[in-house]
Amino acid sequence: MATIPNEQSNYMKKKIALLAGGYSGEFVVSLNSAKTIREHLDPERYAVYLIVISREEWYYDAGNGQRIPVDKNDFSIFVEGQKIIFDMAFIVLHGSPGEDGKLQGYFDMLNIPYNTCNALVSALTFNKSFCNKVVRDFNIVNVARSVLLQHNRPFSLGITMEKISLPVFVKPNESGSSLGTSKVITVDQLLPAIERAFEEGGDVLIEEYIEGRELTIGVYEDAGKVHLLPPTEIVSKNEFFDFEAKYTPGITNEITPADLSETILEQLNEKAATLYTMLNCNGVVRIDFILKQPENILYFLEMNTTPGQSEASIIPQQVIASGSDLKTFYGNLLENALNRK
């Protein structure tokens, strides 16, 4: 249970705002991520305050139902008569406004360091269509063909199917956790899938289906060097790695480290590290690929700049598989963010 930090004992500690919640269907997922991170930040070095963000309010969760409002003018709170100014924002909001650059721009204006990619990179990678175009232009990895449907413009199913062939994935262009995503095999499934994706808001991306093995890899920067975590292969009992498969125990088998040949592993590591660098990323990101079968050709799927951090999430699994521990990992992410100020 959250408790109000003792401000006298926390005087010399770095004051960390741990931001969770958000505007999307990943609200609860974000809170679970924040719980894991909080449990693994060194209490001797950091005074951690859980800041919950929703469309209705921003508040410090002080426990026992007590909500202390955040002053958005300078991102501060009052606790026991003292004004708390934060040294750093640890963002773990999945979706808007923590993954699309909005919070990053806000903290840039306040000169408060944070752990994620900057506002521009966050906005770019959150927009799947734009990100695909940029990655394709790098000419370092294959990218699936896709068609973008804009929410404020009419579209024709006939013209769409002239540009891309079934089967396809239909997904919101800006969303996470596969919310609103469908695999479409027949033409009669297409319009309901598009309507479902539009319900999540914004534009819709129709992307060709690539048959193969789904791989995902964590990449992060520490002391100016890019590091790669052991990759994971995702094997889902569902049609694909959808929201249910991501968060329901037993539906998905996540194999970490993935059983890959040395050649494929080298290619995966090289492409992931290059994308991280060329996209000017910060903090930890998770990059998803498909290893097309039987050709063994890697395809870029998407980049997640605020990946899940709950105990069962992929990044914590990869950190443990790397031989490190979460306390060291999150502490390094935090210190690197403070040093970038």
Q: Which residue has the tokens 């950091």?
A: 46
Decide: 262 and 289 in contact? Cβ < 8 Å: no
Q: Which band of pLDDT confidence, cut at 50, 70 and 90, is reported for residue 239? A: low
Enumerate the β-bridge partners of residue 285. 219
| pLDDT the model gives residue 241 | 46
Residue 227 has pLDDT above 70, yes or no: yes
Residue 73 makes CB contacts below 8 A (sequence gap 6+) with none
Enumerate the β-bridge partners of residue 240. none
Torsion of the alpha carbons at 200, 204, 210 and 213, rounded to the nearest 10: -30
Q: In 3-state terms, what secondary structure has residue 4?
A: coil
Separation between Cα atoms, residue 26 and residue 283, nearest integer Å: 20
Q: Mind listing the pLDDT tens digit for each residue in 280-330?
A: 999 999 999 999 999 999 999 999 999 999 988 999 999 999 999 999 999
Q: Mind listing the pLDDT tens digit for each residue in 119-161?
A: 999 999 999 999 999 999 999 999 999 999 988 888 888 888 8
| pLDDT the model gives residue 242 | 45
DSSP 198-261: HHTSS-EEEEE---EEEEEEEEEEETTEEEEPPPEEEEESSSSS-HHHHHSTTTEEEESS----
Residue 188 has pLDDT above 60, yes or no: yes
| pLDDT the model gives residue 65 | 85
CATH of domain 146-208: 3.30.1490.20
| pLDDT the model gives residue 180 | 80
| pLDDT the model gives residue 249 | 54
Per DSSP, 6 falls in state -
DSSP 90-125: EE---STTTSSSHHHHHHHHHT--BSS--HHHHHHH
| pLDDT the model gives residue 232 | 98
Across 273-280, average pLDDT: 98
Say which CATH class 14-114 falls into: alpha beta
| pLDDT the model gives residue 269 | 98
Percent of the chain at pLDDT > 90 equals 74
Residue 11 has pLDDT above 70, yes or no: no
Across 112-120, average pLDDT: 97
Q: Note the CATH architecture for domain 122-133+210-336.
A: 2-Layer Sandwich (3.30)
Model's pTM, two decimal places? 0.89
Structural domain spans, the chain? 14-114, 122-133+210-336, 146-208
Sign of CA dihedral 245, 125, 193, 158: negative
